[in-house]
Amino acid sequence: MDTRRFLITGGSQGIGAALVSLARAQGHEVVFTGRDQARIDQVAAESGAVGLQADVAVADDNRRTVEAAVGRMGGIDVLVNNAGVGYLAEVGDIDMERMRALFDINVFGLVDLTNRVAPLLKAQQSGYVFNIASTSGMKGAKTGTVYAASKWAVRGLSQCWQAELRPHGVHVTCVCPSEVQTDWMGRTGRNNPNKLYAVDVAETIMAALAMHGRALWPELAIFANNPWKED
């Protein structure tokens, strides 16, 4: 595979950090973002990637992020919109401020950053955008209003971007993992070898990148095959 220039949001832990490590291990250039400076520094030191403290919900941070990625790497070939947060509440008990804050990250921030990168990809007539949605964006469930709605939005806008960018040689893939064992929403301590690990999602993205450029995987759902097994 050719060496590619990755920009990954939310690379300081979880799925994003696994992808930073895998892409670096395969010889690619990587700039990633996060909010927690200590975690950013740790992933950068371990992987040799460039880490930036930048909040995807802040427009000026997104401007800085794109400038830094282009400045460091000379361009962007692969944008991975991974940064995302969760909030669970039943209708009747939804905190609208928290809903707006979540949409600022999971949806509006993702759009703002891609809005800045898309012209670069169109100009070079090549590139990849991976949007990390969720199986929560494929099927609604109790307490899912806010998070599921944000991920349905990501699936919908991914289809719009496919229609707009495919004629320019740009691939847009929406990735929908089922439950992954990360610290997402503060959950820790799980270690079931039969459930998904962050590296499984990272490997799926690298598999999509390994396909011939004439092919497109528009949407990928990733499940654990037998998550009911306890050991």
Ligand X SMILES: NC(=O)c1ccc[n+]([C@@H]2O[C@H](COP(=O)([O-])OP(=O)(O)OC[C@H]3O[C@@H](n4cnc5c(N)ncnc54)[C@H](OP(=O)(O)O)[C@@H]3O)[C@@H](O)[C@H]2O)c1
Pick one of 59, 68, 85, 221: the residue that binds ligand X (CB under 6 A).
85
164 is a site residue for ligand X (CB under 6 A): no
DSSP codes, 127-152: EEEEEE--GGGTS--TT-HHHHHHHH
How many residues touch ligand X under the rule CB under 6 A: the total is: 30
55 is a site residue for ligand X (CB under 6 A): yes
**How far is Cα 195 from Cα 48, in angstroms, rounded to an integer?**
29
Of 8-16, 64-72, 112-120, 157-165: span binding ligand X (CB under 6 A): 8-16
112 is a site residue for ligand X (CB under 6 A): no
Residue 7 contacts by C-beta under 8 Å, 6 or more apart in sequence?
31, 32, 65, 66, 69, 76, 78, 79, 80, 117
Pick one of 4, 8, 13, 19: the residue that binds ligand X (CB under 6 A).
13
188-207 residues near ligand X, rule: CB under 6 A: 198
**Which of helix, strand or coil describes residue 32?**
strand
Strand extents, DSSP E, 54-195:
78-81, 127-132, 170-177
179 is a site residue for ligand X (CB under 6 A): yes
184 is a site residue for ligand X (CB under 6 A): yes
Give which of 194, 200, 151, 143 is closest to 19, Cα–Cα: 200
**How far is Cα 202 from Cα 32, in angstroms, rounded to an integer?**
14
**Closest approach of Cβ 214 to ligand X, in Å?**
28
56 is a site residue for ligand X (CB under 6 A): yes
**Closest approach of Cβ 162 to ligand X, in Å?**
19
Which one-letter DSSP state was computed for residue 180?
B
Residue with smaller CB distance to ligand X, 3 or 41: 41
132 is a site residue for ligand X (CB under 6 A): yes
Pick one of 19, 20, 23, 57: the residue that binds ligand X (CB under 6 A).
57
Residue-wise burial string across 90-126, b where 16 or more C-beta atoms lie within 10 A, e elsewhere: eeeeeeeeebeebbbbbbbbbbbbbebbbebbbeeee
128 an active-site residue?
no
12 is a site residue for ligand X (CB under 6 A): yes
CA–CA–CA angle 207, 209, 212 (5° rounding): 100
**Beta bridge partners of residue 52, listed in sequence order:** 33
Residue with smaller CB distance to ligand X, 184 or 217: 184
**Closest approach of Cβ 117 to ligand X, in Å?**
15
- What is the set of active-site residues? 147
Which residues form the interface with ligand X (CB under 6 A)? 9-16, 33-36, 39, 55-57, 82-85, 105, 132, 134, 177, 179-180, 182-184, 198
